[in-house]
Structure 1
């Protein structure tokens, strides 16, 4: 017997972003009504209880050793409504999910991963169920992978994604632009004077924050770090998170006076608040954390299909640069440092997109659907 809940959030562990979005959604709902019982569940633990760990390991190996295959599959799924709907092939998985849902009996299901939406949509169709399904799209993508006609509401990152989904035949009233859900720390006001003192930052410092995500995509060449070390105006913070291999590989650069290497920290919002520039991979969550912080950024070596799609948004809106070599990276850092007008224009463009972030609307729409059931 599973614990019953009123709102079930289904997610998956293909990168940390989907779970991060799930936690943010839960927090925004409980801010409105703390009495609602909410569970966040990894769907693969339900449908593949003996294999889910191997599925996630295979995903990491695919990204590391067979990236072209991953991207081929990604674009096939997003350009063809029928390709890759694997949920219809795994009857045993569908049956496990059905048993779980009948046991838990949620009033609403929220999905933060496309396969979760597909399985729930199939469950609704096969069992003639009318349980509301809400899908939160966690990247700035316009493809088929996320679209299911049994879904009752979509939360999307931008108006362009909204328009794309509506063109596919989804009711316009069911698609709401909220931005990608991020932690509430990124919306809290900060005391930057105190934070700069805490981190040893002077007013004339140009502060760069660098994060490489789970793949650890940050510059590896010694020459880059020597260039940083030689430019005393720069103060560089590198967050390696839980990537021990990355930390071990670059920890030697911590000996430079203006380079600071951090492992996992829950103070990312604080560091962003006092930074002048972010160097990062283009995950949807990171992009919206950066936008909420009004922080110019450079995307370094995007590789995954969804990241390449996110980059199109960055270029189109003039939010930052996309570079693929360390030489380009050094060049763009120098340009932003030396051109205050350019930096301010980037911030203006970011602030326009910041207006799309509406966590209040997200929570209120969920509560409205919940109250009807």
Structure 2
């Protein structure tokens, strides 16, 4: 009996922060898994970072400038976040932004045509907006889906001609309906994370592999993929606290922060593990009892999947602030606005293990470790079967 060729799924993201890319990579990873019938991969998937197909100036604006802005001028970023959310679609600011995007992304459309996908999933609003216009102008004839990657909805994600939307929570879905998206186009799946987070790594094995004591309380401090924040200063303050705990700090791609943390680790032998960018985040999380992190949608979804209580540290105004609000309301996180409040909250949770356990149980209940698989399944179910 002939087998049908795998459906072709294109996933588009933007490397403005690591979260959009990681969501796309998670969907791509699940596409490579064998289906339930054992006939081969669920789909042929390709992930494209839109920033690989724009001019250097446009890439610098969308990626380097974004990182500098949220790290050095978070209040300005917060203003821009709210201003663009509130601006009418036909405002001069929005028209200028769309014109710049059109001029700088023509190469991307050629790549899409060459791959000839059966469906497209966008994990950032930029490619979704470009494809909305292509669909309107009949330059594209495959369905386009949108995966929102935060526990909030910014209006730049709300576009015409989309096949459907994937939301992190019921509240985000409600906000989508409030913005005029039809009920039947909205699916509450959670935020896509890698398959490794659905396999619950064993703490004992992971701790031993990293030279950690699996019996000691362990705190994981994260600065995101770019290693934002004064991680060495925060770590130094935590290590002065009383209590028998060990500290893991992830510096991401921030080489300067990693160098400072490595020097600090030498002053506290056996208490501080400094790590740069790693593909084994889930194994390090498996060693931890508490995570201190910026409240990005992807990182916090990973924590929820593994049942990790959080202290969200200095959320930037905008999407991180909204993410933090959700986590606090759900009882899975506390918020620290400065070093003193962070140290107080760490000390409080270490002294009240019953609260830490309650937060852990609530996080496990909220986690959606197979969100990416749910997204992929929904997309594939609506694509007509290709002929063998």
1:22 paired with 2:29, answer: no
Worse-superposed segment, 298-307 or 121-130: 121-130
1:315 maps to 328
8 Å Cα contact 1:219-1:326 kept in structure 2: no
Over the aligned positions, Cα root-mean-square deviation in angstroms equals 2.5
8 Å Cα contact 1:217-1:300 kept in structure 2: no
Structure 2 distance, partners of 1:153, 1:240, is 36
The verdict on how the C-alpha distance between 1:106 and 1:259 changes in structure 2, with shifts beyond 3 A counting, is same
8 Å Cα contact 1:29-1:366 kept in structure 2: no
- The Cα shift of 1:210 comes to 0.7
Worse-superposed segment, 86-95 or 269-278: 86-95
The verdict on how the C-alpha distance between 1:60 and 1:79 changes in structure 2, with shifts beyond 3 A counting, is same
> Where do 1:79-228 residues align within 5 Å?
79-82=86-89, 84=94, 86-88=97-99, 90-93=101-104, 96-127=107-138, 129-202=140-213, 204-213=215-224, 214-221=226-233, 225=236, 228=239
The verdict on how the C-alpha distance between 1:162 and 1:251 changes in structure 2, with shifts beyond 3 A counting, is same
The verdict on how the C-alpha distance between 1:26 and 1:81 changes in structure 2, with shifts beyond 3 A counting, is farther
8 Å Cα contact 1:11-1:111 kept in structure 2: yes
Secondary structure (helix, strand or coil) at the match of 1:216 reads coil
The two structures have a TM-score, normalised by structure 2, of 0.86
8 Å Cα contact 1:94-1:123 kept in structure 2: no
Secondary structure (helix, strand or coil) at the match of 2:184 reads helix
Structure 2 distance, partners of 1:194, 1:203, is 8
Worse-superposed segment, 123-132 or 142-151: 123-132
8 Å Cα contact 1:291-1:353 kept in structure 2: yes
1:371 paired with 2:378, answer: no
1:262 paired with 2:275, answer: yes
Structure 1 distance, partners of 2:241, 2:180, is 56
> Where do 1:287-366 residues align within 5 Å?
287-354=300-367, 358-366=371-379
- Partner deviation per Cα, 1:22-70 (whole Å, 9 max, x = no partner): 1111111222452733221122333x33434432333333334443332
The verdict on how the C-alpha distance between 1:309 and 1:116 changes in structure 2, with shifts beyond 3 A counting, is same
Secondary structure (helix, strand or coil) at the match of 1:252 reads helix
1:51 paired with 2:54, answer: no
8 Å Cα contact 1:24-1:184 kept in structure 2: yes
- Partner deviation per Cα, 1:253-282 (whole Å, 9 max, x = no partner): 102021121222222211211211001111
Secondary structure (helix, strand or coil) at the match of 2:220 reads strand
- The Cα shift of 1:8 comes to 1.7
- The Cα shift of 1:143 comes to 2.4
2:4 maps to none
Structure 1 distance, partners of 2:52, 2:258, is 30
Worse-superposed segment, 57-66 or 154-163: 57-66
8 Å Cα contact 2:85-2:156 kept in structure 1: yes
8 Å Cα contact 1:8-1:106 kept in structure 2: yes
The verdict on how the C-alpha distance between 1:265 and 1:104 changes in structure 2, with shifts beyond 3 A counting, is closer
Worse-superposed segment, 190-199 or 331-340: 190-199
Number of residue pairs the alignment of both structures matches: 367
Structure 2 distance, partners of 1:14, 1:126, is 28
The verdict on how the C-alpha distance between 1:103 and 1:210 changes in structure 2, with shifts beyond 3 A counting, is same
Structure 2 distance, partners of 1:198, 1:66, is 39
- The Cα shift of 1:218 comes to 4.3
2:3 maps to none
1:284 maps to 297
Secondary structure (helix, strand or coil) at the match of 2:165 reads strand
Secondary structure (helix, strand or coil) at the match of 1:106 reads coil
The unaligned stretches of length 5 or more in structure 2 are 1-6
Secondary structure (helix, strand or coil) at the match of 1:367 reads helix
Q: Which structure is richer in relative contact order (CA contacts within 8 A, separation 6 or more)?
A: 2
Worse-superposed segment, 146-155 or 355-364: 355-364
The two structures have a TM-score, normalised by structure 1, of 0.89
8 Å Cα contact 2:151-2:322 kept in structure 1: yes
Worse-superposed segment, 341-350 or 17-26: 341-350
Secondary structure (helix, strand or coil) at the match of 1:109 reads strand
2:76 maps to 69
